[in-house]
Each structure stands twice: as structure tokens, then as C-alpha cells.
Amino acid sequence: AQSVTQLDSHVSVSEGTPVLLRCNYSSSYSPSLFWYVQHPNKGLQLLLKYTSAATLVKGINGFEAEFKKSETSFHLTKPSAHMSDAAEYFCVVTPSAAGNKLTFGGGTRVLVKP
């Protein structure tokens, strides 16, 4: 069984300040983890993924995430928020042994203030 908890349903930041989106997971298997972004009325786009290689993963648009097995966490960060980062973000887990079945977290809506 697997599950994902995104600890904040909403995050509000000022433009130019850091962004932190928190994600905890549970998985019976060694997991693969993803962050996806969904802009308003759009489909989902992959930001980054962890698949048992380096624990610090760099993604697109300046985002990065760190896999911490001891804490079962995969938090997403960006050092400086941009207005275009306003969107819904989803943390996703899948067991590496059966990589097709994604389990999504509840999402975190990011608001960026000018």
C-alpha cells in the first residue's frame, strides 16, 4: 500500500522569497517519487522525479526536492518564487517495482504575491 500526504493545502509567498512545499509518503516498496505542477485549467507537467539515484533532485524552473528515507519525506523547494509559479502542486508516489500506478497527494495551491 502507498499513500502521500501534502502537509499544506495552501501556501502563500511573496515574489522573490523561497518556496517550500512539504510532502510525506508511505510505501511498502522502494518508491519512485514525483512532483507535478498544474497551472489553472491546464494539464499536469512533471517538475522532477526521484528514482533511487541521487537523493537531491533538480527539476525544471529552478525547483528541487530532496528524498529523505529516514523521514519519509520529499519536500519541494525553490529559492526565489516567481509570479508564474502560482499553481497547484502534486506530490506523487509509485512503487518502483510496479511503476505505473501513481498515487497523488491532495495538492498544494501556491499563491505568489507581488
- Please report, as ranges, the residues that interact with other proteins according to CB under 8 A: 32, 34, 36, 38, 41-46, 49, 51-52, 88, 90, 94, 96-97, 99-102, 104, 106-107, 109
The phi-psi region of residue 97 (left if phi > 0; otherwise alpha if psi is between -120 and 50; otherwise beta) is: alpha
Indicate the helix (H) or strand (E) that contains 32. strand 31-38
Whole-number Å distance between alpha carbons of 69 and 71: 5
Q: Least distance to other proteins from the beta carbon of 77, Å?
A: 20
| Angle 73-18-60 from CA coordinates, rounded to 5° | 70
Closer of 39 and 113 to other proteins (Cβ): 39
Q: Least distance to other proteins from the beta carbon of 17, Å?
A: 24
Q: Least distance to other proteins from the beta carbon of 80, Å?
A: 26
Closer of 13 and 33 to other proteins (Cβ): 33
Closer of 18 and 106 to other proteins (Cβ): 106
Q: Least distance to other proteins from the beta carbon of 78, Å?
A: 20
CB contact at 8 A, 110 and 87:
yes
